Amino acid sequence: MAPAGREWVKPALLMAPAILYLTIFIVYPIIDTIIIAFFPEGRFSTESLEYLLYSPLSKFWDAIKFTLILAALVVPIETVLALIATLVLLQPFKGRDTAVYILSIPIAISDVAAGLIWYSMLTSKGFVNKVLIELGVIDSPIYFFGYEFRDRALLAIVLAEVWRSMAIVFIIIFAGAQLIHRELFEAADVFGASFWVKLRHILLPMIKPSIQAALIIRTLFAFQVFAVVWILAGRDIPVLAGEAYYNLVEIHRFDVAALYALIIAILSMTTGFLYLRMLRARHLEV
């Protein structure tokens, strides 16, 4: 038994590694980023913020718009597809393990490779146009890339992102669904529960923690999307991470790049907090 007044020692020692990790890899980088953004020469300056908001060279508002549009399109589509795949693959059938493996393959492909794959498929002489022309669906190639085709380029980015990262959401949700005791579904069958009743009252509530984790991870990645957008559209479709890269590497505005990083961090933390509040698994709390 710990001496009086020393009860805090063991919890503090257990928490020390996590606190040290958070301090080194989260707190310190954020503080250093704030210093780079607002204290570029050792004194406080809002030059980076003014450049971001008012410079004709800045694409900040477009970057915010397209980042949010991509997140709003990609994350719900991936979640719905992952839920559908989970419902199908929870049923035992021959070849189920192979289907799970095939669905998981894109997770091993980098975002750069995914962007290049979809670029080669969707160019005017790519696989998609060739197939459509051969089938007689179109007479001339469909152009997806270029400033005048930004809407199509956005569609190409959504397709590439969904194909590349839906596997992340699927694996998390499918793993959570497999932990549900089969007795719950068997009891529901005994009482004559329909598929939709079992879905609403058993499956979805039980996998809510998995959905929460998948949404947090995938949304954070959506705010950081870069390589696929950069390969398929460049700065024709600006996103926050792409503008941070451009300011850091191309024009060497380190303060502006740091400010973009802070904005991405704020968006990520705010969204994570909202997910945690809105998707609390109350049955686990009880």
**pLDDT tens, 232-285?**
998 899 999 999 999 999 999 999 999 999 999 999 889 888 887 877 655 554
Q: With 0-12 CB in 10 A as exposed, 13-18 as middle and 19+ as buried, what is 125? A: exposed
pLDDT at 281: 56
Measured CA distances, 18 to 120, 220, 266, 269, 272 (Å): 44, 21, 21, 18, 19
| CATH 3.30.1330.30 describes domain 59-285 | no
> How far is it, in rounded angstroms, from Cα 62 to Cα 208?
34
pLDDT of residue 19 exceeding 60, the answer is: yes
- pLDDT of res. 62: 94
pLDDT of residue 5: 58
> Which tokens belong to 276?
């945690």
- Sequence-ordered alpha helix ranges (H) in 143-207: 150-178, 182-190, 195-198, 204-206
In 3D, which of 96, 58, 114, 76 has the Cα closest to residue 227? 114
29-87 tens-digit pLDDT:
999 999 999 998 888 989 999 999 998 888 999 999 999 999 999 999 999 999 999 88
Give the integer Cα–Cα distance in Å for 205 and 279.
10
**Euclidean distance between CA atoms 77 and 71, whole angstroms:** 10
Higher pLDDT, 1 or 55: 55
Q: Which amino acid is at 197?
A: V
The pTM of the full predicted model, rounded to 2 decimals, is 0.85
Nearest CA to 168 out of 129, 217, 123 is that of: 217
Domain spans, the chain:
1-45, 59-285
